[in-house]
């Protein structure tokens, strides 16, 4: 898919109209850091106003998240991955600031080793592939149970009352070339309503270390969402067990927002 055309896709609706401007300028060859810097920024980090800088700005040996925390500068390469990361920073600055603070605090505590550890793993998973869902209780119950027929076929009309917000920038990048297996990891964030500002505050509030270390996410194949991809109009679309997997008995249940 042409990146400029991606701005018209439903998963980028929360990022409009800024996504259209940024993707158009980047498509014309403007450096991504420069393109993002042309947009208004609405938050300061502990080190000062948020800035987007070229991807090679961090000194060798300093962790990416630690550099952002120390300088308030986000190293930004000229690719879609970093472009979408910047778009998420611009739209959800409180949540991204919270992620950065938790990552940098954990790096300061434990250093950089062969593995990230459970908290940093969870933070990275949500940062890259996370989403939040505002939906009627019946849809939540079906999602938690991974009852895909209930979720997407039997209760299909109820998706008119739902809103799935893609937060993860790697997932946004993947959706530029949609594949059936593209999966979000959904986090319960009470209060994530149709307002971007409310969603930002709700996500930031939900990012609690003790909870995140348990990886409290549930997978959602996003191209199964009604209206998001034409092939899912056929009920047989959801019969693919490689994508729409059953819940394993040993998995801990996700707490529903209605609980």
pLDDT tens digits for range 148-197: 999 999 999 999 999 999 999 999 999 999 999 999 999 988 776 668 89
Instruction: Give the sign of the dihedral formed by CA 65, CA 71, CA 77, CA 79.
Output: positive
Beta bridge partners of 134: 163
Cα atoms in the 13 Å half-sphere on the side-chain side of 107: 19
Per residue in 26-58, pLDDT tens? 989 999 999 999 999 878 999 999 999 999 999
The CA–CA distances, whole Å, from 132 to 37, 139, 189 equal 27, 13, 7
The confidence score (pLDDT) of residue 247 equals: 80
Q: Record the pTM.
A: 0.91
Nearest by Cα to 132 from 210, 184, 92, 86:
184
CA distance 89 to 99: 11
């Amino acid at each position: 898919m042409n990146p400029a055309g991606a701005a018209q896709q439903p998963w980028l609706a929360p990022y409009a109209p800024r996504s259209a401007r940024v993707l158009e300028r980047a498509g014309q060859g403007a450096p991504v850091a420069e393109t993002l810097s042309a947009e208004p920024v609405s938050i300061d980090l502990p080190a000062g106003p948020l800035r987007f800088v070229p991807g090679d700005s961090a000194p060798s040996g300093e962790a990416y998240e630690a550099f952002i925390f120390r300088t308030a500068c986000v190293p930004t390469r000229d690719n879609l991955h970093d472009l979408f990361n910047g778009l998420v920073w611009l739209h959800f600055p409180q949540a991204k600031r919270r992620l950065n603070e938790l990552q940098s605090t954990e790096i300061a505590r434990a250093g950089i080793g062969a593995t990230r550890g459970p908290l940093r793993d969870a933070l990275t998973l949500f940062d890259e592939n996370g989403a939040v869902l505002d939906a009627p209780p019946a849809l939540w119950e079906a999602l938690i149970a991974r009852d895909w027929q209930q979720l997407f076929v039997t209760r299909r009309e109820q998706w008119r009352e739902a809103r799935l917000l893609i937060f993860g920038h790697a997932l946004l990048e993947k959706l530029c070339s949609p594949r059936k297996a593209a999966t979000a990891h959904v986090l319960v964030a009470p209060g994530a309503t149709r307002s971007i500002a409310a969603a930002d505050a709700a996500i930031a509030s939900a990012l609690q270390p003790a909870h995140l270390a348990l990886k409290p996410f549930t997978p959602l194949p996003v191209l199964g969402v009604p209206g998001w991809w034409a092939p899912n109009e056929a009920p047989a679309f959801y019969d693919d067990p490689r994508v729409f997997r059953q819940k394993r008995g040993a998995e801990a249940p996700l707490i529903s927002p209605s609980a």
